[in-house]
Amino acid sequence: MRTRSLLALGSVIPVIFWGTLFVCGYVMGDYNHLTRLVSELGAMGTRTQYMFMAGMLACAALSAVFVIGLHKACRERGISAFPAWIILSFSISLFGAAIFPLPLRLHLWAGMPSILLFFSPLAALILWPGDKMPAGSRIWAIVSLAIMLLGFLAFMPEVLGAWPGLRQRFFHIGWSLWFIGLGRAFLVSTKK
């Protein structure tokens, strides 16, 4: 595949992810996205278990392919691909969370690598010099990092205690913005 096609996946992956969440939530019927966790949509025995699994596996596979496109684009610009490679932690996490549904104990362990994802925009801000950084990626990195960090509220039950789904979704909104921004920034810079 051409690098541009791989970079376009940055916008496709969040659409698949959020589409899976909303369709599964609708199928469940009594699911509230603000009060319930994402993983509940794929819990063992639910009507949406396999639909959720398919969506997460698709996102995991496509995000790994997205990393290949980012690696190529970084190499073309002469910048470190490390921020891109960090995204693989998210790919592994989605894959594991899909394969090991709730309430399996491995579900928690499989989801842990995603915590590393916030290092991707942080590393981009540190490692990519201003003149080689794709146009617009700095603002995408700052905004997505700030929103992803709000996802750490999930580890503070006293903050937004009645809204665990909302706390968790901050992280998902953050990485979605990072994927979209990163893909678009590199796409625009490869046109030139």
Rg (CA), the chain: 17
Question: Which residue has better confidence, 159 or 150?
Answer: 150
Q: What pLDDT does 104 receive?
A: 95
pLDDT at 82 over 70: yes
pLDDT at 179 over 70: yes
Q: How far apart are CA 28 and CA 3, in angstroms?
A: 38
Token readout for 121 is: 């925009």
Average pLDDT over residues 80-99: 97
Give percent above pLDDT 90 in the chain.
82
pLDDT tens for residues 5-48? 999 999 999 999 999 999 999 999 999 999 999 999 999 999 99
pLDDT at 124 over 80: yes
Q: What are the structural domain ranges in the chain?
A: 3-191
Q: Contact 129/156 with Cβ under 8 angstroms?
A: no
CA-closest candidate to residue 177, choices 60, 61, 11: 11
Relative orientation angle of helices 49-77 and 87-99, to the nearest 10 degrees? 170
CA atoms within 13 A on the CB side of 138: 9
Q: How far apart are CA 118 and CA 56, in angstroms?
A: 19
